[in-house]
Every structure is written in structure tokens, then in C-alpha cells.
């Protein structure tokens, strides 16, 4: 459903997708145990390895491409 809706104007996907999902009746919920790996500012590129070791599913934002070896 969500993927079939065209964006009406250029907008950041991080805003568009949850907003669209919400207006289509989906509940938007936080992943509480993952919140410490996500920020709305800064650069978490250097935190990738420690976040992985701590069980993170993702890290955001990443501003640089960096290879992390397990």
C-alpha cells in the first residue's frame, strides 16, 4: 500500500514513509532498545563497530562510507 503512493513533492523519505503509513492507519512505534543508536543530528560513523557489538540493528545517521570488519 505505502509503496504504491507517489510522493506529491520532493520530501525526505525518513519523514514521508512514516507520515504516509500513519495516515493510512498504521501505528508508528519506536524500537526502544534501539533508540540509543539513532539521532536526528551528528555523525555516528565512528560508532558502528561498538553499536554492532552491543546488538544494534542499525546506526543513524552515517555520513561516511566505512568498512567495518566483524
CA distances in angstroms from 7 to 15, 17, 28, 59, 62, listed in the order given: 11, 10, 19, 26, 24
Residue 30 pLDDT level (bands cut at 50, 70, 90):
confident
pLDDT of amino acid 41: 87
Q: Which residues pair with 38 in a beta bridge?
A: 60
List the domain boundaries for the chain: 31-70
Separation between Cα atoms, residue 33 and residue 16, nearest integer Å: 24
**Percent of the chain scored above 90 by pLDDT?**
24
Q: pLDDT tens-digit profile of 37-68?
A: 888 888 988 898 999 999 999 888 888 876 66
pTM given for the model: 0.57
Separation between Cα atoms, residue 41 and residue 68, nearest integer Å: 22
Separation between Cα atoms, residue 57 and residue 42, nearest integer Å: 19
Amino acid at each position: 500500500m505505502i509503496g504504491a503512493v507517489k510522493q506529491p513533492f520532493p520530501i525526505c523519505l525518513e519523514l514521508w514513509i512514516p507520515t504516509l503509513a500513519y495516515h493510512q492507519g498504521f501505528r508508528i512505534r519506536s524500537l526502544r532498545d534501539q533508540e540509543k543508536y539513532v539521532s536526528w543530528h551528528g555523525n555516528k560513523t565512528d560508532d558502528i563497530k561498538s553499536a554492532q557489538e552491543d546488538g544494534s540493528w542499525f546506526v543513524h545517521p552515517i555520513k561516511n562510507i566505512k568498512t567495518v570488519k566483524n
